[in-house]
């Protein structure tokens, strides 16, 4: 698009990524009169994960009415759960209508951002040149870097092999022997679609997921007309969906037994679609519902019951140039291998590309402290750096767009505070960040994600949940509504006003008032 235009030398705010979060940040910055910003995106379009995940059957498992910006309701959703092309078209339309795309650069890799303590700016190196920024907002997303499985011999496979998030649309699967590794949210959407055309499909399952019925339907013409002409009604509908979803929170964070009706519905989903007792046994999870992400599908179990589909539960031992060998010694021939093995979620890759005030990368800091942030937004040692979809802001039950908008509001209020109080930098106090995370981890102890008897991508290698938010989304909104300057080290006019080191305590007191 406009990537050939030279980069400015300096911007007030530099945003990394043009997905749902980066776009919301840009629109809100512009509305707030903060016009001097730049959004750098490595892809060739807005949309982030919705631009990248074009696999057959890709669709959202959060209702469309809620999975959209509060400031850009869409009366034209075709269904209650939208397919990926519709979501991507929606994001594109919002971007086109926003008037902010002139400050987006596509096809640009952000190689590194380094805090320059002397000049109190970020030095940003990109594939299109260098620039400086007062503030960096990373909206790089948690589901952006595909995670490839470490399986012996996978590099030697002679056929086509690709990740679910990098679907190769030139690969013709019809009449082929295909293998899908993984049974997560992506795989359960892919398998029913491709099972129709492939000659044979082997689905390699390591852990059976809980799968509930998908209450999806097309909106009637009358409903769409009503949404178009009565926006208040659509907002009411959205609000009802929102509160309906919040009712799920206690089952995740207080007591999994509350989820018994959901568990029964998921068990009935198995018996409705699968008659073979052996297959029923294989697909029945051995952990509490909610421990891993709850999936929704009406087509997953029928697909597994198809004659040309085998569910393989023996562990994969290695991949050969022509197939997959499981630990029992069986080799199954494969022409095309699809790896639907998820994303780098707990080791946010962007952290390797950011160097803070003390000269080490965020990845190095997190390797020592564990992944953590203050309010999922800011990190001690990294002044003027803000995360959207940062640590512990993910959800298992509702729309990430709600969380994104909460975080955008927090960043905007931080910028407003900086401008109004003439602050050069803001950086969360280590003690505040530690207290925030101690509270989060204390709350985690009783959640189904910790007690449900599973391992999941929510947890890091030490078993800490660094991805999910363990409370209601309205609690998160309340806690991020205003920028709480008292939790921050504040530097004004090159004069250090840090706790215990300030030369002007009165001024500090005033700033923190």
Calculate the alpha carbon distances from 454 to 254, 419, 458 in Å: 17, 47, 10
Q: Which is nearer to ligand N01, 204 or 242 (CB)?
A: 204
Interface with ligand N01, residue 22, by CB under 6 A: no
User: In the complex, what is the shortest distance from the CB of residue 489 to ligand N01, in angstroms, rounded to a whole number?
Assistant: 34
CA 67, CA 215: separation in Å to the nearest integer? 16
**Residue from 141, 184, 356, 428 in contact with ligand N01 (CB under 6 A):** 184
Q: Which is nearer to ligand N01, 53 or 372 (CB)?
A: 53
List binders of ligand N01 among 43-72 (CB under 6 A).
Answer: 59-61
| Contact between 333 and 323 (Cβ < 8 Å) | yes
User: In the complex, what is the shortest distance from the CB of residue 74 to ligand N01, in angstroms, rounded to a whole number?
Assistant: 16
Hey, what are 363's tokens?
Answer: 């990845």
**């022997």: which residue's tokens?**
177
Interface with ligand N01, residue 393, by CB under 6 A: no
Interface with ligand N01, residue 289, by CB under 6 A: no
Interface with ligand N01, residue 298, by CB under 6 A: no
CA 20, CA 87: separation in Å to the nearest integer? 10
Instruction: Please choose, out of 184-192, 260-268, 385-393, 467-475, the segment that lies near ligand N01 by the rule CB under 6 A.
Output: 184-192
**Residue from 48, 182, 323, 470 in contact with ligand N01 (CB under 6 A):** 182
249 burial (CB, 10 Å; 0-12 / 13-18 / 19+) is buried
Q: Which is nearer to ligand N01, 192 or 428 (CB)?
A: 192
List binders of ligand N01 among 329-348 (CB under 6 A).
Answer: 340-343
Interface with ligand N01, residue 12, by CB under 6 A: no
Q: Which is nearer to ligand N01, 100 or 181 (CB)?
A: 181
Calculate the alpha carbon distances from 75 to 19, 90, 237, 425 in Å: 21, 11, 12, 42
Calculate the alpha carbon distances from 353 to 22, 346, 358 in Å: 18, 16, 15
CA 228, CA 409: separation in Å to the nearest integer? 27
The dihedral of CA 493, 495, 500, 506: what is its sign? negative
Pairing of strands 10-16, 129-138: parallel
User: In the complex, what is the shortest distance from the CB of residue 230 to ligand N01, in angstroms, rounded to a whole number?
Assistant: 28
**Residue from 316, 379, 415, 423 in contact with ligand N01 (CB under 6 A):** 316
Q: Where are the beta strands (DSSP E) in 194-278?
A: 200-204, 211-212
Interface with ligand N01, residue 310, by CB under 6 A: no
Interface with ligand N01, residue 318, by CB under 6 A: no
CA 387, CA 365: separation in Å to the nearest integer? 16
Interface with ligand N01, residue 87, by CB under 6 A: no
Pairing of strands 211-212, 295-296: parallel
Q: Which is nearer to ligand N01, 106 or 387 (CB)?
A: 387
Interface with ligand N01, residue 464, by CB under 6 A: no
Interface with ligand N01, residue 181, by CB under 6 A: yes
| β-pair partners for 129 | 126
286 burial (CB, 10 Å; 0-12 / 13-18 / 19+) is exposed
Hey, what are 95's tokens?
Answer: 């971007």
500 burial (CB, 10 Å; 0-12 / 13-18 / 19+) is exposed
Interface with ligand N01, residue 124, by CB under 6 A: no
CA 142, CA 138: separation in Å to the nearest integer? 11
Q: Which is nearer to ligand N01, 407 or 417 (CB)?
A: 407
User: In the complex, what is the shortest distance from the CB of residue 444 to ligand N01, in angstroms, rounded to a whole number?
Assistant: 18
User: In the complex, what is the shortest distance from the CB of residue 295 to ligand N01, in angstroms, rounded to a whole number?
Assistant: 8
User: In the complex, what is the shortest distance from the CB of residue 6 to ligand N01, in angstroms, rounded to a whole number?
Assistant: 36
Q: Which is nearer to ligand N01, 90 or 382 (CB)?
A: 90
CA 274, CA 123: separation in Å to the nearest integer? 57
User: In the complex, what is the shortest distance from the CB of residue 153 to ligand N01, in angstroms, rounded to a whole number?
Assistant: 13
Q: Which residue's CB comes closest to ligand N01?
A: 184
**Residue from 143, 212, 373, 415 in contact with ligand N01 (CB under 6 A):** 143
User: In the complex, what is the shortest distance from the CB of residue 383 to ligand N01, in angstroms, rounded to a whole number?
Assistant: 31
Nearest to 158 by CA among 328, 333, 342: 333
User: In the complex, what is the shortest distance from the CB of residue 509 to ligand N01, in angstroms, rounded to a whole number?
Assistant: 44
Interface with ligand N01, residue 452, by CB under 6 A: no
Total residues in contact with ligand N01, by rule CB under 6 A: 24
CA 189, CA 183: separation in Å to the nearest integer? 9
Q: Which is nearer to ligand N01, 105 or 450 (CB)?
A: 450
Q: Which is nearer to ligand N01, 46 or 295 (CB)?
A: 295
DSSP string for 283-311: HS-SS-TTSSPPEE-SSHHHHHTSTTEEE
List binders of ligand N01 among 151-170 (CB under 6 A).
Answer: 151, 164
Instruction: Indicate the DSSP class of residue 41.
Output: E
User: In the complex, what is the shortest distance from the CB of residue 46 to ligand N01, in angstroms, rounded to a whole number?
Assistant: 17
Interface with ligand N01, residue 193, by CB under 6 A: no
**Residue from 65, 68, 183, 407 in contact with ligand N01 (CB under 6 A):** 183
Instruction: Indicate the DSSP class of residue 82.
Output: -
| Contact between 508 and 502 (Cβ < 8 Å) | yes
* Chain mean position to CA 226: 32
Q: Which residues bind ligand N01 (CB under 6 A)?
A: 59-61, 143, 149, 151, 164, 181-187, 204, 206-207, 293, 316, 340-343, 457
């Amino acid at each position: 698009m406009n990537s050939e235009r030279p980069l400015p030398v300096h911007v007030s705010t530099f945003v990394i990524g043009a997905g749902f979060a980066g776009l919301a940040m840009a629109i809100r910055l512009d509305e707030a009169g903060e016009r001097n910003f730049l959004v750098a995106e490595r892809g060739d379009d807005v949309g982030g994960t919705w631009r990248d995940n074009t696999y057959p059957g890709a669709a959202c498992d959060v209702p469309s009415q809620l999975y959209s910006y509060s400031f850009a309701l869409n009366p034209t959703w075709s269904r209650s759960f939208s397919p990926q092309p519709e979501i991507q078209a929606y994001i594109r339309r919002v971007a086109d209508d926003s008037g902010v795309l002139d400050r987006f650069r596509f096809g640009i890799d952000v190689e590194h951002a380094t805090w320059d303590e002397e000049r109190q700016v970020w030095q940003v190196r990109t594939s299109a040149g260098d620039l400086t920024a007062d503030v960096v907002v990373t909206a790089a997303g948690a589901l952006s870097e595909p995670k490839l499985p470490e399986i012996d011999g996978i590099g030697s496979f002679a056929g086509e092999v690709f990740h679910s998030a990098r679907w190769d649309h030139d690969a013709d699967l019809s009449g082929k022997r295909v293998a899908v590794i993984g049974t997560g949210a992506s795989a359960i959407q892919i398998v029913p679609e491709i099972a129709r055309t492939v000659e044979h499909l082997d689905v390699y399952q390591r852990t059976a997921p809980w799968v509930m019925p998908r209450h999806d339907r097309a909106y009637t013409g009358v409903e769409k007309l009503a949404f178009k002409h009565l926006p208040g009604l659509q907002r009411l509908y959205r609000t009802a969906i929102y509160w309906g979803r919040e009712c799920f929170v206690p089952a995740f964070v207080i007591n999994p037994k509350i989820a018994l009706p959901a568990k029964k519905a998921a068990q009935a989903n198995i018996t409705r679609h699968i008659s073979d007792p052996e297959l029923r046994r294989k697909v029945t999870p051995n952990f509490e519902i909610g421990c891993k992400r709850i999936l929704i599908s009406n087509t997953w179990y029928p697909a597994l019951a198809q004659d040309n589909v085998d569910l393989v539960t023996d562990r994969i031992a290695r991949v050969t140039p022509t197939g997959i060998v499981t630990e029992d010694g069986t080799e199954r021939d494969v022409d095309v291998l699809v790896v639907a093995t998820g994303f780098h979620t707990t080791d946010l890759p962007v952290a390797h590309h950011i160097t803070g005030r003390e000269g080490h990368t965020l990845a190095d800091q997190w390797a020592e402290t564990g992944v953590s942030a203050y309010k999922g937004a800011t990190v001690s040692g990294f002044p003027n750096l803000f995360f959207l979809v940062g640590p512990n802001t993910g959800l298992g039950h509702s729309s990430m767009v709600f969380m994104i908008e909460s975080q955008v509001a927090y960043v905007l209020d931080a910028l407003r505070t900086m401008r109004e109080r003439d602050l050069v930098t803001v950086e969360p106090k280590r003690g505040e960040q530690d207290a925030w995370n101690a509270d989060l981890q204390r709350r985690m102890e009783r959640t189904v994600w910790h007690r449900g008897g599973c391992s999941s991508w929510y947890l890091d290698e030490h078993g800490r949940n660094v991805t999910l938010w363990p409370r209601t989304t309205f609690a998160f909104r309340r806690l991020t509504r205003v920028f709480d300057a008292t939790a921050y080290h504040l530097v004004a006019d090159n004069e250090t006003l840090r706790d215990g080191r300030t030369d002007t305590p009165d001024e500090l007191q005033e700033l923190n008032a």
